[in-house]
Amino acid sequence: MAQQQSEKPTDSFSDTGELVGESAAFLQVMESIRQVAPTNITVLITGESGTGKEMIARAIHEMSSRRDKSLFTVNCGAIPEGILESELFGHEKGSFTGAVEMRKGYFELANEGTLFLDEIGEMPLSTQVKLLRVLEEKEFMRVGGTKIQRVDVRLLAATNKDLETSVKKGEFRNDLFYRINAVKIVIPPLRERKKDIRPLTIRFAEEVCKTNHIQFEGFTEDGFDFMQNYAWPGNIRELRNVVERIIILEKGRLIDRAMLEVHIGKEIESSRNLPVIAHKTSDQAERELIYRVLLDIRMAVEDIHSFILGQPTRTYNGTNLRSPFQAEVRTQTSPLPDDERTLNEIEKIHIEKTLDRFGGNRRKAAKSLGIGERTLYRKLKEYGLD
């Protein structure tokens, strides 16, 4: 739900992997960071899911006068509405069932440091009122308390929502919106920063090779070309996952276009037309990512079948990715192949399996699926799994 980072003073971004790039859009974001970091002004960071909003917040903290203090990150969308207020402001002993002792909230813990509220657009209206008071008066009361607590906290917030639309719908307070929108940093999606894909890929490759002690032969030019022309609906998060997976599964071999097509999924070729991707909702993008993960799993299972039974695995230098045997195995083991199911059916099955894997723990399941806990709750209700 929330995490603490103990930061070391730094004047560079050498340790923040996602903050690498060469595009004009990226350089503009970096310039904005350098301008706002030394101040105490509240910053709103916006951008699609996976664009690296938390990395931007961390960079602002690292370049601020508070860098010797702690940075706390709280995901407002991952904490159930009933306990978010207690998590942020703390509670007194006996203030509600289960409150067996006094507990400090993240505002108290982050005193003299920085608090980063991710997915602030998911915050309930009742909690927004108290947040506004903290920002304006620098004071609050714990849940069930009567004593005013004063704090000095620098607030950073992030969202992938259009908060102006949320304000018009009455889902987000107008006064709070203008308070947190003092400075706004907009992170463009990766599809609009094509020049950044190569340096990001190289950085992620270096990290995974160092961590896993892999000798890597690199990417071919047609491999880089493929990545630069793919729309990356999951943005930097998706790029990092693809680079890590392909280097590990291919055991450091030279990665070319054909291999990337297999690992990302050949069906995304039709999704490279940017306007189509650009107008998808975040929920649609999440579904596409889940679908692609399922396709990756299916192809990996087919390869395992082939290996165990001594059949040839798929080759990367041709267009035929499945042997006749693999097609036969799929037909026998699955009455309804994935490519004949609807996207909703595939998503429902994947959510069920993920919940089973985590023993019904919705927070862990949501994190594994790469979606917010509230999004998971909505999908469970939609599919009758609640």
Nearest Cα residue to 371 out of 300, 260, 293, 298 = 293
Q: Quick one: 7 and 108 in the same domain?
A: yes
Determine the Cα–Cα distance for residues 319 and 335; give it in Å rounded to an integer: 26
Q: Report yes or no on 311 lying in a domain.
A: yes
Show pLDDT as tens, one digit a residue, over the chain (386 residues): 555 543 333 333 434 456 899 999 999 999 999 999 999 999 999 999 999 999 999 999 999 999 999 999 999 988 887 789 999 998 888 877 777 788 899 999 999 999 999 999 999 999 999 999 999 999 998 888 889 999 999 999 999 999 999 999 999 999 999 999 999 999 999 999 999 999 999 999 999 999 999 999 999 999 999 999 999 999 999 999 999 999 999 989 999 999 998 888 743 443 444 334 444 455 555 555 665 566 556 555 555 554 555 444 433 333 333 333 333 333 333 444 544 556 677 778 888 888 888 878 888 888 778 787 778 887 887 888 86
Q: Quick one: 114 and 237 in the same domain?
A: no
Q: What is the 3-state secondary structure (H, E, C) of the chain?
A: CEEEEECCCCCCCCCCCCCCCCCHHHHHHHHHHHHHCCCCCCEEEECCCCCCHHHHHHHHHHCCCCCCCEEEEEECCCCCHHHHHHHHHCECCCCCCCCCCCECCHHHHCCCCEEEEECHHHCCHHHHHHHHHHHHHCEEECECCCCEEECCCEEEEEECCCHHHHHHCCCCCHHHHHHHCCEEEECCCHHHCHHHHHHHHHHHHHHHHHHHCCCCCCECHHHHHHHHHCCCCCHHHHHHHHHHHHHHHCCCCCECHHHHHHHHCHHHHHHCCHHHHHCCCHHHHHHHHHHHHHHHHHHHHHHHHHHHCCCCCCCCCCCCCCCHHHHHHHHHHCCCCHHHCCHHHHHHHHHHHHHHHCCCCHHHHHHHHCCCHHHHHHHHHHCCCC
Q: How many CB atoms lie within 10 A of CB 223?
A: 20
Q: Report yes or no on 375 lying in a domain.
A: no
Last residue of a domain, one of 161, 188, 215: 188
The residue length of the chain stands at 386
Q: Quick one: 74 and 6 in the same domain?
A: yes
CATH number at residue 289: 1.10.8.60
Q: Report yes or no on 107 lying in a domain.
A: yes
Q: Quick one: 145 and 209 in the same domain?
A: no
Q: Report yes or no on 135 lying in a domain.
A: yes
Q: Quick one: 201 and 306 in the same domain?
A: yes
Task: Give me the residue label for tokens 């859009």.
Answer: 25
Instruction: Count the domains in the chain.
Output: 2
Last residue of a domain, one of 164, 188, 212: 188
Q: Report yes or no on 355 lying in a domain.
A: no
Determine the Cα–Cα distance for residues 337 and 38; give it in Å rounded to an integer: 56
- At 152 the pLDDT is 95
Nearest Cα residue to 203 out of 367, 3, 11, 55 = 55
Last residue of a domain, one of 303, 321, 340: 340
Q: Quick one: 138 and 237 in the same domain?
A: no
Determine the Cα–Cα distance for residues 109 and 97; give it in Å rounded to an integer: 23
CA atoms within 13 A on the CB side of 45: 28
Q: Quick one: 312 and 261 in the same domain?
A: yes
Q: Quick one: 164 and 38 in the same domain?
A: yes
Determine the Cα–Cα distance for residues 287 and 342; give it in Å rounded to an integer: 12
Q: Report yes or no on 205 lying in a domain.
A: yes
Q: Quick one: 331 and 265 in the same domain?
A: yes
- At 303 the pLDDT is 52
**Encoding tokens for residue 381?**
């209700």
- At 371 the pLDDT is 80
Distance of alpha carbon 221 from its chain centroid, rounded?
28
The range of the structural domain enclosing residue 95 comes to 2-188
Residues contacting residue 49 through CB under 8 Å, at least 6 positions apart: 160, 234, 235, 237, 282, 285, 286
Determine the Cα–Cα distance for residues 1 and 86; give it in Å rounded to an integer: 13
CATH number at residue 125: 3.40.50.300
